[in-house]
Structures are given as structure tokens and as C-alpha cells.
Amino acid sequence: MPCDLILALDVPTREEAAPVLRHLRGNLRWVKIGLQMFTAYGPNYVREVAGMGFNIFLDLKLHDIPNTVAKAVESLGPLPIQMLTLHTAGGGEMMRAAKEAQQKSNPNLLLLGVTVLTSMDSKGLNEIGVTSAAADQVARLGKLAADSGLRGLVCSPLEVAMLRQNLPAEMQLITPGIRPASEAGSDDQKRVMTPADAARAGSSYIVVGRPILKAADPAAAAKSILSELA
């Protein structure tokens, strides 16, 4: 299964993002716009980046009562986005409501269920009352998402192989927590893997931010990661 690269556009301002996006046009297909940039600039910024030719992964991690999440999906559906995240911890009813709204507002939009944030480990889960290991919680939430009609998950690359064994083959697995082999540090991510290892494990897409954003030549950094995937 081929694996593609998504840039996490996690920068504080559109001015800082602009030169990176200019360098990456034609070298990268996917850009992830997260809560920071969406909160600062709103839907028009999504349209702006899409207008540069990028596919958009809108990472808002919706988590609220079912009706509120469904209405949010309806509001976001007309935007030029291809992926949208919500928290699987919101439960099956919430995910089913989101799926129904997505089918009405944007049938081609891929809803992604976030399982366990890659910043969390078993200790962090224990602090919020989850006594099972991170991998067990990912398996539980992943199955709930699939049973609720979702066809994509965001998860740590360390859980990809396990999910591939237990979920439908068509499930798209998007994995942050990726660091190129040349990167020694993992910053705030606790469950990480190299691009090549993530691809071999069965990731559909990998999400990379800092190693591209901080590179002297972002296009060269992206090409290097794509070569590692290949």
C-alpha cells in the first residue's frame, strides 16, 4: 500500500507559512491545517492554501455532543477539504452523527477518528482514568470508529501494524509522530517512528511538521522524506 506525506503547517502566522508553501508547491500534495492556524485565520485561509493546489487535511479534532459535532461537520463540509478529524472518545453516537452529516454536506470528505494523541503514553492515560495501555485503548477506539462508519483513523505509527490486523483493509491510517532517520529528538511526541518504518507498518499517510518547517530548504527536506517512503 503506497504511503504519502502530509505537511503539518504548525506555525504561528500565515506570513511564516507563506514561504514554506511557495517552496513546496509542486513537490508536496498534502497540507494539514490545525487548530492554531484555523483559529487565527478561519475558513478563508483554508481556501487560500487549497487555491495553491494543495489537498487539505483540516485537523480540528471535534469533540462535543453529537448534534453539535454534526452541525460543525455540516458547516465545514463546503470547504475545499479532503480530511477532517474528530475525537473517537466522543463515542459512537457522536461519530455516527458526524458521518451522517458528512454524507450530506461533503460525500467525498474523509472523516478521521483520533484515537490516542501521540503526546500521550500509558502514564498520561492513567491520569485521566484510562487504566489500559495506550495500544489497548487505540484498539478499542479504533474498532468503535470502524463500527460507527468512519473509514480513517489518526494513530501513533507504533499501533499501525496492530490496527491493520484488526480493522477493515480499506481503513486509512494517518500517523503523526514521524521523525526522519536523521532526526534524533522527538520533541513533545512520545510514540514516534521513522517514515520508512511507518510505511512498512502500513501507514496510509504520515504527518511531518518540524523537520520540513525548520529545514533551510523545505522542498529538499520533503523530497528526502518522500524518497525514504519510497
Q: Give per-10-residue mean pLDDT for the chain (230 aa).
A: 91 95 95 97 98 98 98 98 98 98 97 90 90 91 97 93 94 90 55 83 95 93 91
Q: What is the number of alpha carbons within 13 Å of residue 184 lying toward its C-beta?
A: 0
Q: Coil, helix or strand for 112? A: strand
Where are the chain's structural domains? 4-229
pLDDT at position 134: 87
Sign of CA dihedral 47, 48, 53, 56: negative
Which letter, b or e, does each residue of 91-100 get, where b requires 16 or more Cβ atoms within 10 Å of its Cβ? beebbbbbbe
Q: pTM for the full model?
A: 0.93
Q: Is 61 a catalytic residue?
A: yes
pLDDT at 184: 46
Predicted pLDDT at 183: 66
Nearest to 148 by CA among 167, 121, 169, 120: 167
Cα 174 from chain centre:
5
Q: Which CATH class name applies to 4-229?
A: alpha beta
pLDDT of residue 193: 83
